[in-house]
Structure 1
Amino acid sequence: MSDELLIEIGCEDLPARYVRPLAECLADSVRDGLDERGVAHGEVRALGTPRRLAVLIDAVAARQPDQERARKGPSVKAAFDAEGAPTRAAEGFARSCGVTVDDLLREDDYLVYRATETGRDTAALLPGILEGALQAMDATVPRRMRWDATEATFARPVRWLVALLGDTVVPWSAFGLDADRTTHGHRFHAPDAIALARAADYEGALRAAKVVADMQARRDAVREQVEAEARGCGGTARITDELLEEVAALVEWPVAVRGRIGAEFMGLPPEVIVTTVETNQRYFTVFDDAGALLPAFITVANIASRDPQQVVAGNERVVRPRLADALFFWNQDRRQPLADFLPRLADATFQKDLGTIRDKVDRVTALARDLAAALDADGAACERAALLCKADLATQMVFEFPELQGIMGGYYAREAGEPAAVADAIAEHYQPVGAGAPIPATAAGRVVALADKLDTLAGIFAAGQPPTASKDPFALRRAAIGVLRIVLEGGLRLDLRAWLSTAIDAQPVDCDRAAVLGQLWAFVAERLRGVLAEDGIGRETFDAVAALDVVDVGDFAARARAVRAFTAMPEAAQLAAAHKRARNVLRQADSDSGGEPDPARFVDDAERALADSLAAQAARQEAHLRDGAYAEGLRALAALQAPVDAFFDAVMVNADDPALRANRLALLGALDRTCRRVADLSLLSG
């Protein structure tokens, strides 16, 4: 016999960021608790709104099955003396199991206790399961509230509990409350209590009471309504996953309404309006087909008002003063050119050991000048953009909206008459701002972005504050990934380790610069491993290329992709195994294998065949590698597989004759060098 299980925790309005994590934690904990106790069940669904967290589970068995219990005791040898009488060890074990020694079994020379424990009713098991669930939920919320004399704590005060298995109330108490079958609908549309006859009635009863409990269904409803409203004003809504999730977690009965942005604000940069409307108000903005911002916003109310215009007017009244503030900052900041804000950066500390933000700007400017020369970019534009890239940090707009740093610098640079290349580079230099976000589109933007990120990485490592497993206050992981993505996606060729060394040398701290470089390069290399893993480059392939100490990450990626393709060839595994064998022989012989083999000393046809194949492949490989055609160079090595196998089958490398042995080791050395032109093939599976 089985039935649906419903657990609901009703509370005062939760912050949007807690709804899904807490609902999923409750569902996962109850599911795990049932599984640990062997209680069969069907689909588990996490449900949640601002006022409730719930789990609904199909086909929960009424009882757990009988449990087979087994305990392993002392060995038979330790359990009985020479006369066969039980020892204290045997008697103690039997006593701990609640039986006599005669009731114990002998299995594999050990005493074993086995018993069948009768399964318990699921309703009796649930209070313990739910207690564990509450503990797990407490760990999910960093700050909890206490609201009465019970000393109970939760994310928000708990007002009711529901626990139903089928049509039966589960005896559960928590937060000073006893669970029953009474839930509550929408605070305004359906304020009366709702008595549930069965757990299966839950979602239908709530929907009738203007509550959509399913989080995904509520997200879908928000999206559909917002898109419909946007079409109504001739545009498309900008809907990000983060905003959609937050808005869906703020309402129980979503109703989208459309408001207008005053014409006087439409002269603001669109990013300012989007930040004001979306980030501060949780409204959706609307764009036309050409990508221009329309004077409209869409908000999602938690009520179906009889007078929607009152809701619209209220939201317009809220957003207007925020936009008015933004317009004031925009007008005030433009009264002076962007360069005039530069001296104020001398009053702002970047990091206590690394000086002010102005000091950082000077380092970034010098690094950008050198990078521009190396990358054949416009040196004057790169240097000017680097000098001004942080100036907007001193503006009123960025002080109020920090997320607009860089973006506003680009606008203010254009207003001040700076060249377009300079303004674009300033606007782009924080990019990429996250996973999947675009890299700078312009050459100057890439140069300044690289210089800024390299300086931050070098400075913080030089100051002895690398990120830990749990803390990365300067976002160094993101900076390193940003550097790698700019280089790889921008098709740049740089000796990245040398540029990190240059950035470290510019830092105003005393440190072991070689040690800092080693630590920083290892950190960046590990980020490169992750970036290439997203491109399908496995750990083995990565390590094979890394063994050659390749410092140009673009070259590194090209080699790794070629090795990945090579490993799909049938000859690859055998050649890798042969290379591994050759390196082992060289290592055991303590040979540097630096010399070339002497053909006059060959005594076996297999030696001559391998030498001839190596010579032919070396010429062919050299032509491919000169053109950067690593895949072709590796494919050419496939022809070595047969002569290498024949060599190892027919030839004793460690011959008694020292000269013969040295010549054969030199031949293996030539094989080793050939197999390590693109990557160390011995590190591949063979």
Structure 2
Amino acid sequence: MRQDDLLIEVGTEELPPKALKRLGQAFCELIGAGLQKAELDFGEARFYASPRRLAVHVTNLSYQQQDKTLEKRGPAVAAAFDQDGNPTKAAQGWARGLGITPAEAGRIKTDKGEWLVYQAEVKGQALTELLPALVTEALSRLPIPKMMRWGSSEHSFIRPVHSVCMLYGDQLIEGELFGIKASTALLGHRFHHPDTISLKRANSYLDTLRQAYVVADFGERRNMIQQGLQQVAEKLGAQVGIDEDLLDEVTALVEWPVVLTAEFDQSFLQVPKEALIYTMKGDQKYFPLLSSDGQLMPVFAFVTNIESKDPQQIIGGNERVIRPRLADAEFFFNTDKKQSLESRLDSLGTVLFQKQLGSLKDKAQRIASLAKSIAELLNADVEHAYRAGLLSKADLMTQMVMEFPEVQGTMGQHYATHDGEPQAVASAIGSQYHPRFAGDDLPDSAVSCAVSLADKLDTLVGIFGIGQLPKGDKDPFALRRAAIGLLRICVEKGLKLDLTVLIDKAVREFGDILTNAEVNQQVLDFILGRFRSWYQEKGIETDVIQAVLARQPTSPVDFDARIRAVQHFKSLESATALAAANKRVANILAKNAHDMDSSVQESLLSDEAEIALAEHLKHTEADVNSAMEQLDYKQVLERLSALHQVVDNFFDQVMVMADDEQLKNNRLALLQKLRSLFLQVADISVLN
């Protein structure tokens, strides 16, 4: 059967850069799924995407479906004909649906009787018949938040469509999409090659477009830009911080990337670098360059879509564009410094945090009080924690943060330093939102941790306290991120804090304005629930997480220690048998909870195996209690793993549910003691 490559391209106006990569990947996945559903064999499918095109390249695609035999079984013969041999309504209806008469149907005998059957040879459809509808279906299912129409057309897409190409080998597959007939014409670079270019073969797509100054492969363009940035940075003895999202966005903005550098006035470096970097990245899509010691240099890299014979013209244009933006940042910074953070506290009262929870000033006061309480638990400076909490939201009222919201907190640190606040206070203000994303830095001191934890707890307790729990993907107050950030701070900083204590303190700060009576337990469950996704990302098995969650330890540090201990225990040879034994014990105890005595009576121990288990438990209990005092959960489970053989012997040789009631209850008590020792760490009965 014929096999060849397939190329599908939709040429458009410039596509949204932040969505381009996702659109390209989705288009490829949907085409691949459509071909599989159509039962057309192929090698692999790969996406290409640039500002003016979405394309999919499929290798070794079969031209036609395999022929197959269609078999449709009908009613049983006994039900298909009456006593006179005439077809019943059931047989007539079945035959009519297939376009035959009951007399034309075949018969098939099975163990359950004889049935009518219809068999027909179905010839496989060709790609030319299947593809237009398949592509239309794929395009209709792209993750496009908002469609648009253009001209007088009734068609809609994310951007106006100008060309459609569906080429199989060197054969054009005819069809129409968005009112445009398929052709071999491709759009070239808007400026370097404004004329269309003809595609001769599907597998020459990349080379053909390259002649028209288009690098269609998204990944190749991205690598070209990244390498270009590294080269210019090395030439200047600088470092370039590659922001992955920005790199993807810039890749989606150009078809023929050229990396250049430009400069700005060194006087702007008096402005905090974070504000300048945000301006360059966020507004202009530039890449700031840093010196070896991390200081911002008065030079930046940028990516242009034109290979100019006079690049200085492009460089000069970008320098003229960035200057007023940096001048704005400089003006805001100098203006903001004229007023202290403390003087802005009253203005926070004019900004609502949440209707039922009050203003930002109310929130800042709650954070200050809660941060002081947490600092006390951490033996940190309580006054610094209180002061940092009180000033934590003041920078939201500065012109700099109003213009560049991304630098909130960071600018508060700079303004606090300018105001003469203690370094610990300024640092805590700067790191109050940390960690902001996976892998982000944590607060650097106990005072900073106290303020960051207080901020997150206030939001969690407040929003849960008025019954606005996150639902599905909706999480407008970023409660999931706050909970994971809280856990990271406690675990990675080794802070021995109890969540029930922290939540209770946070609830008290709200006074009587909370309406949800279940807020304490709901917030605790929500925070502990974040452990599941956090550990899964680290490669921890679900059953290990569930074993610890079953005990619901409320200290994140303690929770983490148990996770690591159970993970280690699961690697031991005896783990499988002990987990199974615990499951068996748990089931027995659950069914006989009403019959159990509180303690084991040694005088009732009669069987050699149960005497041995009782003796081992007695000695093991002392070791376990000693290790538990040190919170050495790994040692606890290692010591319990030594019970493997004696537990197996017990179940092999002892009848737990003895006829003698006293004997039975005593053996249940023995199992309860065994189970209790394991449950001090986790419920290993849930381990797979």
TM-score range relative to shorter protein: over 0.9
Q: CA deviation at 1:21?
A: 2.1
1:77/1:634 Cα in 2 relative to 1: closer, same or farther (>3 Å)?
farther
| Counterpart secondary structure, 1:127 | helix
Q: Distance in 1 between matches of 2:117 and 2:290?
A: 73
Q: CA deviation at 1:161?
A: 1.5
Q: Is contact 1:385–1:425 with CA below 8 Å preserved after alignment?
A: yes
Match of 1:144 among 142, 147, 166: 147
Q: Is contact 2:188–2:195 with CA below 8 Å preserved after alignment?
A: yes
Matches within 5 A, 1:232-311: 232-311=235-314
Q: Distance in 2 between matches of 1:291 and 1:314?
A: 27
Q: Distance in 2 between matches of 1:73 and 1:521?
A: 59
Q: CA deviation at 1:105?
A: 4.1
1:196/1:627 Cα in 2 relative to 1: closer, same or farther (>3 Å)?
same
| Counterpart secondary structure, 1:253 | coil
Matches within 5 A, 1:135-534: 135-137=140-142, 140-507=143-510, 510-511=513-514, 513-534=516-537
Q: Is contact 1:285–1:297 with CA below 8 Å preserved after alignment?
A: yes
- Of stretches 74-83 and 347-356 in structure 1, the one that deviates more from structure 2 is 74-83
* 1:619 corresponds to: 622
- AA aligned to 1:29 is L
- Of stretches 648-657 and 279-288 in structure 1, the one that deviates more from structure 2 is 648-657
Q: CA deviation at 1:427?
A: 0.3
Q: CA deviation at 1:119?
A: 1.2
- Of stretches 142-151 and 239-248 in structure 1, the one that deviates more from structure 2 is 142-151
1:229/1:460 Cα in 2 relative to 1: closer, same or farther (>3 Å)?
same
| Counterpart secondary structure, 1:450 | helix
Q: Distance in 2 between matches of 1:120 and 1:240?
A: 47
Q: Is contact 1:7–1:54 with CA below 8 Å preserved after alignment?
A: yes
Q: CA deviation at 1:508?
A: 5.1
Q: Distance in 1 between matches of 2:397 and 2:327?
A: 20
Q: CA deviation at 1:510?
A: 4.8
1:66-117 Cα deviation digits (max 9, x unpaired): 1333334334554344566542212211221123334244364454433221
Q: Is contact 1:353–1:509 with CA below 8 Å preserved after alignment?
A: no
Q: CA deviation at 1:37?
A: 1.4
Q: CA deviation at 1:126?
A: 1.0
- AA aligned to 1:4 is D
Is 1:129 the counterpart of 2:134 in the alignment?
A: yes
1:549/1:5 Cα in 2 relative to 1: closer, same or farther (>3 Å)?
closer
Using the aligned pairs only, state the percent identity: 43
Is 1:115 the counterpart of 2:92 in the alignment?
A: no
* 1:36 corresponds to: 37
* 2:74 corresponds to: 73
Give the unaligned 5+ runs of structure 1: none
* 1:47 corresponds to: 48
Q: Is contact 2:466–2:515 with CA below 8 Å preserved after alignment?
A: no
Scaled by the length of structure 2, the TM-score of the pair is: 0.96
- AA aligned to 2:628 is L
Q: Distance in 1 between matches of 2:611 and 2:204?
A: 84
1:86/1:99 Cα in 2 relative to 1: closer, same or farther (>3 Å)?
same
* 2:5 corresponds to: 4
Q: Distance in 2 between matches of 1:583 and 1:250?
A: 60
Q: Is contact 1:414–1:423 with CA below 8 Å preserved after alignment?
A: yes
- AA aligned to 1:380 is E
| Counterpart secondary structure, 1:266 | helix
Q: Distance in 2 between matches of 1:519 and 1:553?
A: 16
When the two chains are superposed, the root-mean-square deviation of aligned CA atoms in Å is 1.8
Match of 1:577 among 575, 580, 584: 580
Q: Is contact 2:230–2:240 with CA below 8 Å preserved after alignment?
A: yes
- Of stretches 656-665 and 623-632 in structure 1, the one that deviates more from structure 2 is 656-665
Q: CA deviation at 1:301?
A: 0.7
1:89/1:359 Cα in 2 relative to 1: closer, same or farther (>3 Å)?
same
Give the unaligned 5+ runs of structure 2: none
1:584-621 Cα deviation digits (max 9, x unpaired): 22222233746221212222222221111100110111
| Counterpart secondary structure, 2:594 | coil
1:646/1:61 Cα in 2 relative to 1: closer, same or farther (>3 Å)?
closer
Is 1:608 the counterpart of 2:611 in the alignment?
A: yes
Q: Distance in 1 between matches of 2:51 and 2:611?
A: 79
1:510/1:391 Cα in 2 relative to 1: closer, same or farther (>3 Å)?
closer
Q: Distance in 1 between matches of 2:575 and 2:92?
A: 63
- AA aligned to 1:39 is L
| Counterpart secondary structure, 1:536 | coil
1:365-398 Cα deviation digits (max 9, x unpaired): 1111110111111112111111111110000000
Q: Distance in 2 between matches of 1:454 and 1:382?
A: 15
Q: CA deviation at 1:653?
A: 2.7
